[in-house]
């Protein structure tokens, strides 16, 4: 089965209005998939949909949705019910960098809603349909920070760890059902998310979102965990083989302290 047959005819991408999600949308359209673009900034989504339709000659639909709201699935279902969504890219996310107790509990709960609850709702809804079709794929955008306790981003890293561990288990459950799941674990990437912090003290450079999205699209069906970039993979290897969890956390605490 080729990519389009296995993961098409529609892909749904959350957080498609900028950064890594926008790149997912363009590259999946380039592979011949129709795309449903989901985010809050509808003007950006409409502009991107037009660009995608003109460039790649596929269909692009938009859904304005705030994924932290309890009923967000209703709007998505209104557009996608009756369509075969063969690929779910659960990519939207938010991050907090700073002292844990200086973030409001409202903001932390919003992050849990967006980074954990929304992917759960979307996975359940679209995953069940994929199981009936006996094919499909799910991509989560997590983070390298999900591998380690990360001071000054403790709660964010925790939300990403949840996605990693959940997907590893699901990969096993879904294998016999013809569905692939992949967790993309980017390191620093040049997007709006990283625009307001100073990461110059970090050992790795910021990657561009096109290469980050490509690594997941190339990897689905072959791997469960993907970390893009040579330096990021070196870092993962060192963290795993040369350092204890405690040492990793201490090192990242030192890096993160200088970023805000």
Ligand X SMILES: NC(=O)c1ccc[n+]([C@@H]2O[C@H](COP(=O)([O-])OP(=O)(O)OC[C@H]3O[C@@H](n4cnc5c(N)ncnc54)[C@H](OP(=O)(O)O)[C@@H]3O)[C@@H](O)[C@H]2O)c1
| Site residues (vs ligand X, CB under 6 A) | 14-21, 39-41, 65-68, 91-95, 114, 141, 143, 186, 188-189, 191-194, 209
DSSP-assigned letter for residue 81: T
Q: Is 152 a catalytic residue?
A: no
Which of residues 135 and 236 has its CB atom nearest to ligand X in the complex? 236
- Mapped onto helix, strand or coil, the DSSP state of residue 228 is coil
Which of residues 129 and 190 has its CB atom nearest to ligand X in the complex? 190
Could you tell me if 21 and 48 are in contact, meaning their C-beta atoms sit under 8 angstroms apart? no
Residue with tokens 């001071």: 151
Shortest Cβ 134–ligand X spacing (Å): 29
Shortest Cβ 141–ligand X spacing (Å): 4
Shortest Cβ 14–ligand X spacing (Å): 6
The DSSP string of 42-79 is HHHHHHHHHHHHHHH-S-EEEEE--TTSTTHHHHHHHH
Question: Annotated catalytic residue: which of 7, 140, 152, 156?
Answer: 156
Nearest alpha-carbon partner for 3 in 26, 32, 23: 32
Which of residues 135 and 213 has its CB atom nearest to ligand X in the complex? 213
Shortest Cβ 212–ligand X spacing (Å): 8
CA–CA distances in Å: residue 67 to residues 70, 72, 113, 147, 220: 8, 6, 7, 24, 24
Rounded to an integer, what distance in angstroms lies between the CA atom of residue 206 and that of residue 202?
A: 9
Which of residues 194 and 233 has its CB atom nearest to ligand X in the complex? 194
Looking at the annotation, which residues are catalytic? 156
């Amino acid at each position: 089965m080729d990519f389009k047959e296995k993961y098409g005819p529609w892909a749904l991408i959350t957080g498609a209005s900028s950064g890594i999600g926008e790149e997912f949308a363009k590259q999946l359209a380039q592979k011949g998939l129709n795309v449903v673009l989901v985010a809050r900034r509808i003007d950006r989504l409409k502009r991107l949909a037009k660009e995608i339709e003109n460039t790649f000659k596929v269909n692009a639909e938009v859904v304005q949705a705030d994924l932290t709201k309890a009923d967000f699935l209703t709007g998505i279902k209104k557009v996608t019910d009756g369509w075969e969504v063969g690929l779910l890219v659960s990519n939207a996310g938010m991050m907090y960098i700073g002292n844990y107790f200086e973030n409001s509990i409202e903001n932390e709960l919003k992050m849990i809603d967006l980074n954990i609850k929304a992917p759960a709702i979307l996975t359940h809804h679209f995953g069940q349909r994929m199981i009936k079709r006996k094919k499909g794929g799910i991509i989560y955008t997590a983070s390298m920070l999900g591998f380690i306790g990360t001071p000054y981003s403790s709660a964010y890293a925790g939300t990403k760890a949840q996605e990693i561990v959940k997907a590893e288990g699901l990969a096993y459950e879904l294998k016999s059902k013809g569905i692939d799941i992949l967790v993309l674990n980017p390191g620093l990437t040049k997007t709006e998310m990283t625009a307001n912090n100073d990461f110059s003290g970090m050992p790795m450079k910021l990657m561009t979102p096109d290469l980050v999205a490509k690594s997941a699209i190339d990897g689905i069906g072959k791997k469960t965990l993907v970390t893009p970039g040579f330096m990021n993979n070196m870092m993962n290897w060192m963290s795993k083989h040369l350092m204890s969890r405690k040492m990793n956390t201490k090192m990242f605490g030192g890096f993160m302290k200088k970023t805000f």
